[in-house]
Amino acid sequence: SYRQNFRHYYILQINGMKRAIGTKKTEGDFKRLKAKVGKRAPKKLSETETKFKTATVQVQTQSIVNEAVERDASPGGLALSSTGKQFSQLVAQLNHHAAKGRISAAQGIRDIIKNTTASVIPNYLSIIVPSVSKCLIDEDSDVRSAAISTLFEEVHPRLASCNLTDSMKPFLPISLAYIGSALHSLDQDVRYDGCKALHQLCTAYSNLFLAGENEITHLQSLLPAFVMLFDDVFGGLASMSRRGVGSLSDSGVDKNSSKDKQARKKRGSRALGVLESFVSVTNHITSFRRGHDVLVGNSVNVTSCHEILSRADLAFCSGGRASNALVWKSDQVHFARKISDMKHLEYSCRESSVDGTISFKLDFNTILSLFLRLRDRFVEVSQRGKQGDKGLYLSSGDASELSLVVSSLRVLWIGFCEEIITIRRLENDSNCKKMKANAVTVLNLLLESFTVRDSSGNESNREKYDSLNTSMCMLLSEIGGAVDNVSDSSDASEWIEAIFMYVAPALEIIDNMDTENSRFTLMMVIERLLLPSEMSNIIGIAGLKQSGHLNDQKYMELLEKFKRAYFDQIESRDKICGSIEGRKAVSLLLSLIDKHISCHTQFELNEIFMTLIEMSSNLPIYLRCWRGSFPKDTAMVLATLSLLSKSLLRHHHNNNNESIKIATSFVKTLASSLENLFTTSKKQMKIRVSEHEIKAKVSIFEELSNAGQTLLLNLVGFLEAPSSKLTEDLAQICARRITMKSSDGKSSDIQLLSDSIIDYLMGVLHFMRRQFSLKQYLTFVVNSSGLHSIQFGAKTDNQGEANVSSYSYDEYKNIFTYDSAIARTCRYLVKVESKQVMPMLKPILDSWLTITDDDCLLLQTLKTRAAITLLSCHALSVRSSNIYADGKMIDDVDFRRRLIHAVMNFLRNLPSENTDDLNFAKIRSKLISPFMVIFKCYPSLLLDTIENVDQFISSNDHSTELKEKMLHTLIYLIKSKSLATAFRDVDHNLSTKLLDMAFRLDKQSSGGTLHSASGKLVMEVQALLGFNAGAQSKK
């Protein structure tokens, strides 16, 4: 047992020692890391890192010019894109091989232009236009769409917002070059996007194309491409060789499948786009050559404009990654030949021609191909409808496409085809015969399809069908008139009857037509019927026989309906008067009147001319509605009315009593209608005066242009005696002034009419003065000066007396603004040369010379000076002509007393000589000049004035300041050279009176405040009359 206990104790001791040894930490010098299989051994602490990294930069293009131009979002430079990239970086990214990279770059360029200030963009067009236009020929559709959106939704609106669209002109050839490359691309989608870009370019920069010859030449070079484009969307052999276009055969294809419906819909929408582009391009070319928009009829400006920037020094050469693309180069200059025959285009520039225009010629085969394809498309679209008793019934979509086809045929016919059958027919050319045969075919097709109606019967689409039918009428008249001119038959054409059957009922419902364009086109059709030979005048060809026309009965029927539609009860139809078709109706009436007067050497009042006279009597209603908004139309109306009035007044005495009655009635009606043009409006109208737009109550006459005002006054001069109301209105127009304030707060009176127009107006009334009373004429002349309606603000001092020194120099200058009106009044009063003039003017002069408490100082000065000016002009005219006795009015006691009182009041209120401002010395000299004249003509009046001055100074009722001012004014008169002879006049004892007054005043004021002024007076009098005379008087 002892042994067992010991053994047990020993085991316990051993186990305790083991536990104690296991829990004790052993600390070594280095940590031993265990290596594991498949793991790389850790690096030693003493090992050195020797690895390094490198970066690669790819520079595809480098240009010092671009680096100098592009700044990092500087205030005067291009902004950054939304991703923070510069323009040069995005341009380089456009050459990326991945389509997504190019799309991102194109969108970034759009962001830059969108965020850049609009006024800065013209400075960077030389880098924007080439880089963005290059995207038009990209293989990816999103890139092309982004380019179109950038050019026409960002660049053009921002240029237009600051009126800088002209800065785009030097870069139009660049855009047209890329668009031309797109139109000749092997990819159909690229060709269609090229058409879309071309249409938007012509629409956005229409004025630039019409103002430049080179731009029109570049446009015309794109026309041959439309032969292939028509084949793409219409179907044709040429389209089979192009990428993206299927076979013409439809065998094996389910036409009702959804895929085929989508394809037809896509091709139909593209057909509309191609037609729109063709119409836009051809219309620009034709409008440039003819000087007017052939589709609308408005005149366009085709004069060359100045280029704001120099022409782009850029060129192109063939090559590139995209299909038939153009690559930017600066060292090679030529245009790449395209797949379509560009050799068909011929240029014949006559820069040294008489008319200074350029002649554009296009290959006949190209013209004929375009004409035939449009004809075939017309047949295809018309066959989709149903032929009925009243015409062709088409859906709304087909009607829209047919309208574009008709417009395309019109611009192509007027621009190119018409010349072939009219000019080359004289040479018996085979091309003329081909074109005439195809023209007859199209004419028959139009007659078969006319008129077009809505197959659904929906009234909301009526405006679309009205526009289509009127366009077809125009095409019928254009092709039919040209074909009839080269035909041997003289029978009335079927196309004229068809147009008449449509136009005659349409005139009765002209107010119910929805669109203005439809009504305007209808007016063009009516013009073709009423002026059948107008086509010969437009194309400028002599020797053509008159085209087919209506018989006399239908001509009068159409003329009567035309009169009822536009010239009967027109007062309540202001909408028609101001519309474009209303202006066209007026233009047609003027042409009919001019044609009738010029074609009839012997004056005769036939039924047609009587109707024209009745219609022309309502022309002033149009003038009242226009109110000068259309200066050219207004001038033509007034000129034609003058011509018609002259013809009637010149020839009515050679005709019977009925013609005299008609002429007299017309003149009387016209005169009463024209009077309303001179009546002042009851409400304020916007007018432009001195480059400022203001509101004022004015007459229609004042809103006309200078040419219109002259023509209207000329017309008034040919009519019978003016009424008293007319002369009152004319005087009010001449006198009308408007007070305007400048930027510094100063106000000034501005005369609305120019001096030349007022002179012409008063000359016309002076020419007619024997047709009405002298009293009425004199009232007009006096009131035309505007003195009866002048208003000046009065200024007084603390005692309530007029304060002369408080008026500024500018306020005194307002007096002189009436000098031209006063001089004009005096001139026309003197021209009357009648003894009754001055006696009849005496009440007016009395009112001007009478001093009232309501008149301020400036108004008193102005009226007194005007009365003295009129008396001076009268005195000078009497001296030169000796027409009637001198001095009758001056010798009248009451009038002379009133005159002397006004003169004294004027002299007392003159600006003082002691004023520091030199401008007041000039004002005093100018104010007193008329008094010098009347004192020279009437020395007795000068003597009375000196006596009143003597009494004024000797009196104790006036202040010393006023007495000193009067002395200085008298000294000024004595020093005047013009009055030296009058002062030395012995007969009127002026010299004696002057010497006595001078020495007496000098003696009275000796040692006083007036001593200096009286001393000066004595010295001036002695200098004038001689010192010997002064010494004798002193004794």
272 token code pair:
């509309």
pLDDT of residue 861: 86
- Alpha carbons 875 and 887: distance in angstroms, whole number: 8
Amino acid at 507: L
Nearest to 814 by CA among 796, 831, 797, 791: 791
Q: Cα(449)–Cα(851) distance, rounded to whole angstroms? A: 85
Three-class SS state of 294: coil
CA separation for the pair 910, 812 (Å, rounded) = 11
Distance (Å, whole) CA 145 – CA 492: 53
pLDDT computed for residue 751 by the predictor: 83
**Other beta carbons less than 10 A from residue 530's beta carbon:** 20
In b/e form, how buried is each residue of 975-1008, taking b as 16+ CB within 10 angstroms? ebeebeebbeeeebebbebbbebbbebbeebeee
The pLDDT of residue 16 is 63
Sign of CA dihedral 531, 533, 537, 538: positive
Q: Which two tokens stand for residue 922?
A: 């000039």
SS3 for 903? helix
pLDDT at 733: 92
User: Whole-angstrom Cα distance, residue 543 to residue 485?
Assistant: 10
Residue type, 519: R
Distance CA 274, CA 497 (A): 34
Q: What pTM value is reported for the model?
A: 0.70
Cα angle 1011, 1016, 1018; round to 5: 95
Task: Classify 762 as helix, strand or coil.
Answer: helix
* pLDDT number for residue 75: 47
Q: Which tokens hold the place of 195?
A: 């058409």
Look at residue 587 and give its three-state secondary structure.
helix
Spans in the chain with pLDDT lower than 50: 65-75, 237-253, 300-359, 490-491, 534-548, 794-802, 883-886, 915, 1035
DSSP string, 710-758: HHHHHHHHHSSPPPHHHHHHHHHHHH-EEEEE-TTS-EEEEESS-HHHH
Rounded Cα distance, 457 and 150, in Å:
42
Instruction: Quick: pLDDT tens for 57-110.
Output: 766 555 554 444 444 444 456 778 777 788 888 888 888 888 899 889 888 888
* CA gap 947, 36 in Å, rounded: 141
Residue carrying the six token digits 């000039």: 922
Taking the C-alpha atoms of residue 839 and residue 141, their distance in angstroms, rounded to an integer, is 91
> Rounded distance, CA 557 to CA 972, Å?
82
pLDDT reported for residue 828 = 92
516 burial class (0-12, 13-18, 19+ CB within 10 angstroms)?
A: middle
Query: What pLDDT does 994 receive?
Result: 83
Measured over all CA atoms, what is the biggest interatomic distance in the chain, rounded to whole angstroms? 190
> What pLDDT score was predicted for residue 530?
84
With beta carbons less than 8 A apart as the criterion, state whether 346 and 363 touch. Answer: yes
| pLDDT score for 29 | 67
